[in-house]
Amino acid sequence: MGTALVYHEDMTATRLLWDDPQCQIECPARLDAALSGLRQCGLEQRCFRLSARKASEAELGLVHSPEYVALVRGTQALAEQELQALSAQFDAVYFHPRTYHCAQLAAGAALQLVDAVLTGTVRNGLALVRPPGHHSQRAAANGFCVFNNVAIAAQHAKQKHGLHRILIVDWDIHHGQGIQYIFEDDPSVLYFSWHRYEHGRFWPFLRESDADAVGQGQGRGFTVNLPWNQVGMGDPDYMAAFLHVLLPLAFEGGYHLESSAHSVCMTVRALLGDPILPLSGPMVPCHSALESIQSVQRAHAPHWRSLQQPDAASGTCSPPLPGAVACETAAAALSSLLDRLRLRPVPPVLTAAALTVPGAARLLPPDVLCQEESAPREETEAWARPHEALAQDKALTALGKLLYLLDGTLDGQVNNSLVVTPGPAVAATLDVAIRRGLSRGAQRVLCVTLGQLDRPLDLADDGRTLWLNSKVEEAAAPSMFHVRTPLPATTGGFLNCVLGLVLPLAYGFQPDLVLVALGPAHGLQDPWAALLAAMLQGPAGGRVLVLLEEESAPRLARTLALVLHGQAPPSLGPFSMASPEDIQALTYLRGQLQPQWKMLQDPSRGPLPGAPCSQLCASSQPEAGPGGDGAAHQPPGAGR
């Protein structure tokens, strides 16, 4: 199974026929630029190509009224003046004789992708469509959107494939109110949207775009709006939203053409399993972002156990810090963003595994390299000499392969890897890996360890390594770079620990290399270990080496290899709340570490200063982002 790419050249046929500054940014060049970017980066040919089909009128009727479908169908026979008059009846919409055909293809592309994924034909995919859809409502076009492609696809997935829980994440500068209206009383669809709001002063100027719009009737709690009330939200702000709102809920239950093309390319790279570009810049969420997140948590706490904080403060965030750094021009801000999005070469080896059991190659997925080469014997023995536990042949062999893979990772030849070694040798092997990584040019190494693994006594506490250990009985933070926490006993406790401690520290540290060690008596369930390995691929751009004691192999080794290679982790099973003891330990550690690690700021736990939003100044236009045109009071720049 691979990654599907669904589109159809005919979707460029609809275009504006008269002068309308409000609508002129929705043009065929949007689709052309995205496709051109994929081709230039060599991504299109790596995908499984699906040509979009037209959605039937019955399929359009899954969310739209028969009268509205008939109205759009009738535009095929209208003259230009009639099209213009009809368009004027809607907000930021234009019709063309080919609009109906294109909109049928756009909806059909979404349906075709859903079918391909849910039947196992492909693992994932991207439908590249126009006209967009997320503003479209049951009986009205809106914001360039004709048929609500995503809503139609969700209803289709429920009716044809029997799905009972669907998550829609709407990433756009504008609120997708059309999707919200369609599903606001439906508890089978969790709709999450983050969007520019500015306290209601940004299009579509709706009160129901705010955080306290949580759904209606049985659907209360299943509409989640995260309104950005200040421009210039950056990576730390979105990461805070992921960790504090989106991921907890998910586990529990005019366009700038160049930036749009880069966004599409980065999305396809992620779907293909390519290394993720690491984030850059200070990881400090701004005050306005924390305030918005706090509003969402407060509105949804009655509906979601994962957002309920027993000791949460009821106050609001403190006033923002002064001195925001304004960008000189919008062009400079966009240039900086695109520089970070430049594609880097994909390593020749995506995932390699070095196992200690006979016939190891048969245990691994077909596309995972079974590592046979090692570092030179003399070099391996020199690194092993200070450690008695590495004297055994099996441990020494594993160390040689680890050194080879570690060098390949830092040289850009290997993206990630898994090494299995005897349990008594895990601690010593990890110690060598840390020192080897630092000696080979890694500036910051993150070590996430589970089990009976103590931090080396002679490891300098100089900020070049961050040591996180989960197994000990008591929570402790001997320094900002040395953190110990008990291993939670429940799924909810584990997720709280990962989302509330491990990932904020990892992204705040911004490592060049991540080492994950599962030592003796690590106690981690296979799905937990897989999820941890998957989530830790982000902070260092995919450069992850997992060290596993051999008693957990081969079953866990195969699971970890699949996840490192891009397959989704296995299900965590039913959600269970964290124990009071786990919550207390996590709260204690966050309180101890928060002054040094700003990504640990949790808006639900009382007043926090945050930082000024400084990625883009308020006057900088256009605003760079997935699908956004950035004009302060301009109708939509994108849709789904």
Q: Note whether 79 and 34 are within 8 A (CB).
A: no
- pLDDT(615) > 50: no
Per-residue pLDDT, averaged over 227-238, amounts to 92
DSSP lists the bridge partners of residue 145 as 142
**More confident position, 279 or 154:** 154
What pLDDT is stored for residue 304 in this prediction?
83
**More confident position, 366 or 8:** 8
Exposure string for 525-556, b = 16+ CB within 10 A, e = fewer: eebbbbbbbbbbbbbbbbbbbbbbbbebbbeb
| C-alpha–C-alpha distance, residues 194 and 210, integer Å | 10
- pLDDT(253) > 80: no
- pLDDT(626) > 50: no
- pLDDT(319) > 70: no
How many C-beta neighbours within 10 Å does residue 304 have?
18
**More confident position, 615 or 417:** 417
What pLDDT is stored for residue 34 in this prediction?
93
Residue count of the chain: 640
- pLDDT tens-digit series, residues 518-573: 999 898 999 999 999 999 999 999 999 999 999 887 789 999 999 999 888 999 88
CA-to-CA dists, residue 626 to 26, 264, 301, 436, 629, angstroms: 15, 8, 29, 39, 9
What pLDDT is stored for residue 472 in this prediction?
72
By annotation, the residues acting in catalysis are 135
What pLDDT is stored for residue 322 in this prediction?
31
| C-alpha–C-alpha distance, residues 126 and 421, integer Å | 39
pLDDT-based confidence at residue 375 (cuts at 50, 70, 90):
very high
Q: Which residues contact 58 (CB under 8 A, 6 or more apart)?
A: none
What pLDDT is stored for residue 637 in this prediction?
35
What pLDDT is stored for residue 360 in this prediction?
72
- pLDDT(493) > 90: yes
- pLDDT(277) > 90: no
- pLDDT tens-digit series, residues 206-220: 999 999 999 999 999
Q: Torsion angle, CA of 209/213/218/224, rounded to 10 degrees?
A: 70
| C-alpha–C-alpha distance, residues 276 and 542, integer Å | 6
DSSP lists the bridge partners of residue 506 as none
**Average pLDDT over the chain, rounded to an integer:** 87
Per-residue pLDDT, averaged over 582-598, amounts to 93
What pLDDT is stored for residue 469 in this prediction?
95
Q: Note whether 119 and 625 are within 8 A (CB).
A: no
Q: What are 332-335's contacts with CB under 8 Å, separation 24+?
A: 333/615, 333/616, 333/617, 333/620, 333/624, 334/256, 334/259, 334/622, 334/624
Q: Note whether 197 and 278 are within 8 A (CB).
A: no
What does the H/E/C string look like for 308-377? CCCCCCCCCCCCCCCCCCCCCCHHHHHHHHHHHHCCCCCCCEEEEEECCCCCHHHHCCCCCEECCCCCCH
| C-alpha–C-alpha distance, residues 542 and 540, integer Å | 6
- pLDDT tens-digit series, residues 142-156: 999 999 999 999 999
Q: Which residues contact 238 (CB under 8 A, 6 or more apart)?
A: 194
What pLDDT is stored for residue 264 in this prediction?
74
- pLDDT tens-digit series, residues 323-358: 333 334 445 555 555 555 555 678 899 999 999 877
User: Domains plus CATH for the chain?
Assistant: 1-163 (3.40.800.20), 165-336+607-640 (3.40.800.20), 349-578 (3.40.800.20)
Q: Could you tell me what percent of the chain has a pLDDT over 70? A: 87
- pLDDT tens-digit series, residues 49-80: 998 999 999 999 999 999 999 999 999 999 99
User: pTM here?
Assistant: 0.83
3-state secondary structure of 24: coil
Q: Note whether 13 and 101 are within 8 A (CB).
A: yes
Q: Which residues contact 42 (CB under 8 A, 6 or more apart)?
A: none
DSSP 140-156: B-BTTBSS-HHHHHHHH
N- to C-terminal Cα distance for the chain?
25
Which helix (H) or strand (E) segment holds residue 548: the answer is strand 544-549
Does the N-terminal peptide bond of residue 204 adopt cis geometry, omega within 30 degrees of 0?
Answer: yes
Per-residue pLDDT, averaged over 182-192, amounts to 97
